[in-house]
Structure 1
Amino acid sequence: MAVARLSTADIVSSLQNALQKFTPPKHIPNFWIIDTQENCLVPGNSVDKYVALSYVWTSPLDTTSNQTPAQRLMLQRDKLDDFRKPGFLSSELGVAEKLPKVIRDSLWVDCLCIPQNDETTCDNVLSMRDIYSGAHFTIIAAAESSGLYGSGAGIDRVKNIDGLPGAGSLHGALMTTHWATRGWTFQEQMLSTRSLVFLNETAFWDCQGDVWWLYMELICRYNHRNLTYAQDALPAISGVFDALTYGFSGGFISGLPAIFLDSALLWQPFVKAKRRVCSEEKPESSPPLPSWSWAGWQCLIDPASLESGLDYEIRGETSRRTRKLVDWVGSTTVADECKILEPGILEHYKGLRDNPSNKDLPNGWSYKTEDTDSAEGVKPYTPTNRPNSWYSHDSDAQSIFRYPLPMTHVPSTVGSQGYKRFLSCTTSTATFNVRRVLYPHQRAQQLLSSGAMLRISVLDTQLYKNEPEFETYCPVITLEDEQGRWAGLLRVMNDNENIKAQQTVELIAISQGSSSFMEAAVAYEETVDRLACYQFRRDHCHFALTESFQQKIAYFGDSRSECYKSMEKEADERDQGPFFLKNINCYHFYDEEGLPKEWRHENYDFYNVLWVERRGDFMERKAAGRVPKAIWEQNQGALQSIKLG
């Protein structure tokens, strides 16, 4: 997706490029299309190319229109002959003045291309999938006042630290517009292969390459919601997932995209989660929700836990990477077992990041080594860390990637919305001891507001803007091996009162991962472990070894928690892990101040692990975390066949 603001000339150039390069849709729906040259309607099956429009009739800031629904210009069956006359929709006849300016500025538009109040209206509305997916692209008119461009207010809120709009912030800004409140608009965006989005004089392309951002935004805004019946967590969102399958090859497996399964399994709760248990009042509904899926837990999801899925982005700010370790098999019964092939396909293309090649790329992708403007005259986004080579998709010349993403034509193994209760694989397991459990203990008020850096747009919404109740922060488990060495961390998902120091936990490896030392050090678990403290926006939360939150507020003295001071005293005699430093205060954990600069260039390799508890013939997820690569490989046992439920 393009991240730079587009000028009017850029818009025209991009539209011309789009119309020249995009492959004509295979099926033109039997609808009416606006001929923008003749200013009239023509049959949909008479054109090779068309553009759709996603809009709201009026915006909260548009005070120029006081039309009632009855006064709006809409296609009626008995007026069809008039609409087909050349010039009928021109401004000279005055008819166009009955349309919102956003339509006059722009094309398939529902109010003019579907006969209204007609016996075919309902059937036509049900065919919206064909309309939006068949369009060359969709114009999303999300500006907060009349017309495509709107007022131009609020541009700064979508800029990143380099002064340019970032992919996540642009999506976040789109999600907060009046356009995003309309019932159909989300589906219209999902169904569109590519969209040109207008946000108050900021315009950007939104193509299938950004599906992971969209998935993160979706589940982070959904999973905290209350449901009358807990088991409806997946059915309640299945329609949106069906639409998303246009961008997620292989569909979804109990809410997790098959193509990104290894990254999706790393989701973590933002605050303590509550297990979704099937209601006995609705026994005929969906079967139990699996513990390995976010759908099995009611909680805000921590978007930072999903950042490794963005490693295809060159402009991305994350160094996190996830690598495939196991072959997954999905099942609900023995009879319906199926191999999940998509992670292996993605892993193949991830290999092109380190060993670039122009051979056997997915359809539409090309390998680039130019360091100048593209031959088409569209200037690519140029981050400071752009490598010497990259990949791009012909649907969007401005976006560049570390490796190509298979978007379509990948065989689906489980269908668009496949419920699977179990995930099985063969992997290594290991047992470790709980060294300590750090619980949220006391609010420590900071006199100056600073706040953590927000790298993911959903964090800048009301869902995440409010300071969480400190007692809802997730406890963190510090692990050690039989030799007493620091052995990694786990994030506890719920109020589990049965975790004790020195108890043994059974872990399974689900993938391998890496990041810079610096990025690992400022992650939630590592921060709590090395400082016994965490700050999201203003106040800090001190952690302690006892599960008793104090309502009394502590004011910053030297800003160090009592637990951290104890760890400092033990550090000379006990391994406190690779991220522990003496004489560090809580002020500096969130912005990398006070941490060794060389950590930005050192690599931290680890295994992504789940703490599991056996339930008969399957295991349930209790917590997720990371164990250093060397420690895991020195403690792992023989390979085992495991089944997660």
Structure 2
Amino acid sequence: MASAKPDSGLEPGYNGSDAAIDLPKPVEPCSICQRLVDFLRSSCTREEPNADSDLDSDSDTRSACVLVIWSAIQQNDGCPTCQKVVKTLSDLGASDSCTEDAHIRVTQPWDGHFTIKLCRDCQDEDKDIVLSLSTLGDNTPWAGYFSGVLVDASWVDIGRIEQWLAQCNSLHKGVCSDIPGITGIKLPDILYLVDVEDQCITVAEEIPSYIALSYVWAHASNQCELTKENLAFMTQPGSLTSDHMRPRISGTIRAAMRLCQLIAVRFLWIDRLYIIQNDFLRKAEHIDAIGGIYFHSYLTLAVADSDHSSSGLRGIKDVTKPRHLFQNVYTFHASPHSVTAFMIYKQPPTAYDDRGWTFQEQMLARRVLKFTDFGMHWICQSCDRREQRVDWKSSLSGFNFGDRNLKYLYTLWPDVKLWDNLLQNYLKRDLTYEDDILRAFTGITKILSGSFPGGFHFGLPELFFDAALLWRPANSLERRTSDTGVALPSWSWCGWKGKIRSGINAFGTEHIRSDPIIKGERGRQIIMFPWKFQWKKTTVDQRKITDVYNLWHLFRDDVPPPRRFDPAKPLPPGWSLKQPAQGNAYFTHHAALNYSFYYPLPTTCDRGDLPRETWGPVLRFVTIQVFLHIGKPLCFLDEEEEDEDDGSDRFGMFSLVDSENKWVGVLHVNIEPTDSSRILGESCELIQLSSALTYIDEANDLELLREYLPELASDVAENIPTGELYEFVNVMWIERKEDIAYRKGIGRVLPKIFQGDENGRCGTIVLLG
């Protein structure tokens, strides 16, 4: 890291000294603290450490050095800083069980922070305890993006919020105020907002600058809500401060209204005061439009410092109760090379972070101001600000919220891995009302639909529909109920409560030749072949039927090599053909510069605009059925070595056997392994979904392959035909109730099960609900 530059690197308008208060008084360092300072100085300025400092290092002095043995710093009673470090490390788990060679190391500073590590046992790095420190100040050689500022422990700095807004408004035009290309995210026809000046509800005739409130609901019976009966009264100036209404407005909402006034934003959106709760004809429409509310907001105010709606937004002076922000400060040296730092705490998940609706609210918002127990947090499309950090310009060059902001959502090619990552993160959260499982994700799928021809059907991308159907349980699942007129289908993830594993990375990404994560060309992995009959979706009354747009294989099967690489052949929008002098030809897309592809994918729907219909949960499918028996649970030889996450890949796996009790496949079911005795030997009806093959050779990533196909690492692997080719058929275990079939599990069987069918069952129509 270079020494301090003439350009401070700070955002215009920010003065670090404005926020830095109560700095500890300079102290004379002890020999241990002096070693730390000398090491930091030599690392940053490329100077050699002072010989008089007795720097004891057994490694490169610019990466890490040994400060002192653990027993010596424990006995260093004369230095308050050393004793503070000892106490902190002890609180983090240090104990007298350290080995004799236990010692403390310090790492080279990087971008304004460094770590102090207690190596308790040199033979076991898992026992190391790490203390991460953020240096205070912006004028030292080790200053950087992670440099910290001391803030008021009780009250937030409203001026800091105003600076963040002003900086974003002036520096991020066309990025945070507008996301080019994103369409279809609309506001409702009627938008009710709180006018914080007139203290009433107003109907927005145009789209004004408004703040959207994102918070955790409290289930209080007397909370103020908008109804048909009180609408006229609520739109009268002063209604929200009336003796009747004021006690019914939660503390968080009142604080949000006051904060709007402090930062000069007149209008506030609040869900309770936006939806007319007893207008059942329009209530669902307004709930579905909530994603657009956050997308079009001037700022989203996220309340993550409370687990209910009554006590959030702490620390607004003269408005709410004081907060209790703790900064544990360590002063190792006085000027001119002051090293004052505070501990970086990892914020645990809060009730806000676990709520299903808040995932979409933060993803769709252009700018978020988040109140947390660890200070204010600003997130926009260009940068990530923390109240306890210095605002450095370097963050504008890409240090932002990464895969958790709106800009990340917008892509011009059908990135099915992106959809899968978003879904997996979303399913970790909780919902108060089960019916919201799709609604709380709709805003995200609306944006993704711009690059996924056909859009999404009950949460599954139609373009990759048969691949998306191959999700499997990762723990015990329970059917999700619904109080609305449209049931949630058993064939989709939205129809179940519990943790799932998507099959997309295994079955839906074989078009990807290389990506930023996997270096070089990918192995052949799993190649999938759709069933010859088309999935069809139906309206709720089943009077209208149309094909599911399951055409991911269009450019692979219909245009095989070498005609696929014909330069004269037209390509879908955005795609280009690359023909290197050496090696095979491949494709690229201008919106995925770090990827290469074996074949392009359609990016627009060629069926024209279909009329808007209310599609029901029932799928029609012509397929083949077969009956097999459930055998014993699979046994994995390395089961004891697997961690919990890896083990979930193998949840509820059973063998499938034929009438002669011979192994023919595997089945993933949604019951606990302890309940397996009740299904052993049970006859199960299976329907064919698709077929696939993979190569078991060195060209493939065998470890990854065993994750996708766990049977390859189980006690039944010997039953899989020898040789490098493993072929199988993807099947679904169904249970029939009257005329509708429902999913009970997913599996894979050997192709011979569906060959030579003597019973003429090909062409069976299945209505899957």
Using the size of structure 2 for normalisation, the TM-score is 0.47
Greater relative CO, 1 or 2 (CA 8 Å, sep 6+): 1
Match of 1:476 in 2: 653
1:577 correspondence with 2:719? yes
Match of 1:552 in 2: none
1:179 correspondence with 2:179? no
Amino acid across the alignment from 1:294: W
Instruction: Flag the 1:299–1:505 CA change in 2: closer, same or farther, 3 A.
Output: same
User: Structure 2 CA distance, aligned partners of 1:392 and 1:228?
Assistant: 43
Unaligned ranges ≥5, structure 1: 1-58, 75-95, 153-173, 194-207, 373-386, 452-465, 533-566, 568-574, 581-598
Structure 1 position 338, deviation (Å): 2.9
1:237 correspondence with 2:441? yes
Match of 1:467 in 2: 644
Structure 1 position 469, deviation (Å): 11
Match of 2:766 in 1: 642
Instruction: Flag the 1:623–1:526 CA change in 2: closer, same or farther, 3 A.
Output: same
Amino acid across the alignment from 2:495: G
Of the three residues 307, 321, 337, the one matched with 2:527 is 321
Match of 2:373 in 1: none
User: Structure 2 CA distance, aligned partners of 1:233 and 1:472?
Assistant: 23
Instruction: Flag the 1:271–1:335 CA change in 2: closer, same or farther, 3 A.
Output: closer
Instruction: Flag the 1:314–1:530 CA change in 2: closer, same or farther, 3 A.
Output: closer
Contact 2:453 2:602 in 1 (8 A): yes
Structure 1 position 502, deviation (Å): 3.2
Mapping of 1:582-601 within 5 angstroms? Answer: none
Of the three residues 597, 604, 610, the one matched with 2:726 is 604
Structure 1 position 621, deviation (Å): 0.6
Amino acid across the alignment from 2:529: R
Structure 1 position 400, deviation (Å): 1.6
User: Structure 1 CA distance, aligned partners of 2:608 and 2:662?
Assistant: 44
Instruction: Flag the 1:286–1:256 CA change in 2: closer, same or farther, 3 A.
Output: farther
Contact 2:729 2:750 in 1 (8 A): yes
Give % identity: 21
Using the size of structure 1 for normalisation, the TM-score is 0.55
Contact 1:431 1:507 in 2 (8 A): yes
Amino acid across the alignment from 1:343: N
Match of 2:575 in 1: 365
Secondary structure at 1:230's aligned position in 2? Answer: coil
Amino acid across the alignment from 1:296: G
Contact 2:633 2:654 in 1 (8 A): yes
User: Structure 1 CA distance, aligned partners of 2:593 and 2:560?
Assistant: 19
Amino acid across the alignment from 1:431: F
1:431 correspondence with 2:499? no
Match of 2:601 in 1: 405
Amino acid across the alignment from 1:321: I
Secondary structure at 1:344's aligned position in 2? Answer: coil
Secondary structure at 1:510's aligned position in 2? Answer: strand
Match of 1:222 in 2: 426
Structure 1 position 493, deviation (Å): 1.7
Structure 1 position 306, deviation (Å): 4.0
Contact 1:439 1:474 in 2 (8 A): no
Amino acid across the alignment from 2:734: V
Contact 1:231 1:288 in 2 (8 A): no
Match of 1:508 in 2: 687
User: Structure 2 CA distance, aligned partners of 1:348 and 1:242?
Assistant: 25
Match of 2:749 in 1: 627
String of CA shifts for 1:212-242, please: whole Å, max 9, x gaps.
1111111111224332222321122112211
User: Structure 2 CA distance, aligned partners of 1:528 and 1:63?
Assistant: 51
Secondary structure at 2:500's aligned position in 1? Answer: coil
Instruction: Flag the 1:120–1:393 CA change in 2: closer, same or farther, 3 A.
Output: farther
User: Structure 2 CA distance, aligned partners of 1:531 and 1:109?
Assistant: 50
String of CA shifts for 1:339-363, please: whole Å, max 9, x gaps.
2352136434554464523423212
User: Structure 1 CA distance, aligned partners of 2:500 and 2:587?
Assistant: 31
String of CA shifts for 1:506-561, please: whole Å, max 9, x gaps.
110111212223668953585458635xxxxxxxxxxxxxxxxxxxxxxxxxxxxx
Match of 1:391 in 2: 587
Match of 2:307 in 1: none
Structure 1 position 311, deviation (Å): 1.1
Instruction: Flag the 1:469–1:322 CA change in 2: closer, same or farther, 3 A.
Output: closer
User: Structure 1 CA distance, aligned partners of 2:453 and 2:166?
Assistant: 42
User: Structure 1 CA distance, aligned partners of 2:613 and 2:407?
Assistant: 18
String of CA shifts for 1:359-379, please: whole Å, max 9, x gaps.
23212222221248xxxxxxx
Contact 1:609 1:625 in 2 (8 A): yes
1:486 correspondence with 2:663? yes
Match of 2:489 in 1: 290
User: Structure 1 CA distance, aligned partners of 2:444 and 2:613?
Assistant: 10
Match of 1:301 in 2: 500
Instruction: Flag the 1:510–1:412 CA change in 2: closer, same or farther, 3 A.
Output: farther
Structure 1 position 604, deviation (Å): 1.8
Contact 2:685 2:735 in 1 (8 A): yes
Match of 2:706 in 1: 523
Instruction: Flag the 1:469–1:488 CA change in 2: closer, same or farther, 3 A.
Output: closer
Instruction: Flag the 1:268–1:445 CA change in 2: closer, same or farther, 3 A.
Output: closer
Mapping of 1:82-97 within 5 angstroms? Answer: none
String of CA shifts for 1:252-286, please: whole Å, max 9, x gaps.
100001111011001112222222123xxxx3x35
Match of 1:583 in 2: none
Amino acid across the alignment from 1:367: L
String of CA shifts for 1:270-325, please: whole Å, max 9, x gaps.
222222123xxxx3x35221010011112222245642211111014561122221
Amino acid across the alignment from 2:599: Y
Instruction: Flag the 1:351–1:250 CA change in 2: closer, same or farther, 3 A.
Output: same
Secondary structure at 2:473's aligned position in 1? Answer: coil
User: Structure 2 CA distance, aligned partners of 1:431 and 1:336?
Assistant: 31
Secondary structure at 2:481's aligned position in 1? Answer: coil
User: Structure 1 CA distance, aligned partners of 2:638 and 2:585?
Assistant: 48
Secondary structure at 2:424's aligned position in 1? Answer: helix
Mapping of 1:44-443 within 5 angstroms? Answer: 61=146, 63=148, 68-70=157-159, 99=167, 104=171, 107-110=174-177, 117=264, 128=295, 140-141=382-383, 146-147=391-392, 149-150=394-395, 179=401, 186-190=405-409, 192-193=410-411, 208-209=412-413, 211-278=415-482, 283=483, 285=484, 287-303=486-502, 306-315=505-514, 316=522, 319-325=525-531, 326-344=533-551, 346-349=553-556, 351-352=558-559, 354-355=561-562, 356-357=564-565, 358=567, 359-371=569-581, 388-411=584-607, 419-438=615-634
Contact 1:255 1:293 in 2 (8 A): yes
User: Structure 2 CA distance, aligned partners of 1:443 and 1:489?
Assistant: 18
Instruction: Flag the 1:351–1:389 CA change in 2: closer, same or farther, 3 A.
Output: farther
Secondary structure at 1:272's aligned position in 2? Answer: coil
1:618 correspondence with 2:740? yes
User: Structure 1 CA distance, aligned partners of 2:165 and 2:382?
Assistant: 21
Instruction: Flag the 1:188–1:286 CA change in 2: closer, same or farther, 3 A.
Output: farther
Secondary structure at 1:310's aligned position in 2? Answer: coil
Task: Determine which structure has more spread, i.e. the larger CA radius of gyration.
Answer: 2
Secondary structure at 1:367's aligned position in 2? Answer: strand
Secondary structure at 1:513's aligned position in 2? Answer: strand
Contact 1:391 1:404 in 2 (8 A): yes
